[in-house]
Amino acid sequence: MSAKVRVVENQCQGHGQCFIQCPSVFVPDDEGFVIPPEGEVAADLIADVRKAVDACPERALEFIEDYEGT
């Protein structure tokens, strides 16, 4: 079992809540929008990633559980 986080296209407006909640996964680009994180979320970061997903006012982040890695 693994988890991923997806950024809904064109929905990020750069509030930066995710950078505060989980800075090791969510990083801003030069304009302040989130760079879509790649790969699986490390197990010890899942709680923080969930907080970031819950904090996004634009609902631009989607937490995908039980992701079947390819």
Partner 1 sequence: MPVESADIAYDHASSANTTHPYETWEQLRRECPVAFSSEYGGFYFLTKYEDVCQAALNCEVFSSADGTATPPQPIQLIPEEVDPPEQRWFRRVLNPEFAPGAVSALEPKIRVIARDLMAKQRECQQFDFGTEFSLPFPRMVTMEVVGIPASDVENLSRWVGAMATREDIVETELAGISLFSYLQNLVTASRELGGGGLVDSLLHRSVEGRSLTDDEMVRMLVLLLLGGLTTTTGAISGMTLWLADHPEDVTRLRNNPEMIDSAIDEFVRHSSPISHIGRVTREEVTISGCTIPMGARVMLGFGAANRDPDQFERPEEVVLDRPPSRHLGFGLGPHRCVGLHLARLMIRVALEELLSSFGSFRVADRDALRFIGGEGRALISLPLSVSPLEE
Instruction: Name the residues that contact partner 1, by CB under 8 A.
Output: 13-17, 19-21, 28-33, 51-52, 54-59
Residue 43's identity, in one-letter code, is: A
Smallest separation (angstroms) from partner 1 to the CB of 48: 10
Whichever of 28 and 36 has its CB closer to partner 1, that residue is 28
CA distance 55 to 42: 19
Whichever of 57 and 69 has its CB closer to partner 1, that residue is 57
Smallest separation (angstroms) from partner 1 to the CB of 57: 4
Whichever of 4 and 22 has its CB closer to partner 1, that residue is 22
For 15-68, give the DSSP string: --HHHHH-TTT--B-TTSPBPPPPSPPPGGGHHHHHHHHHH-TT--EEEE-S--
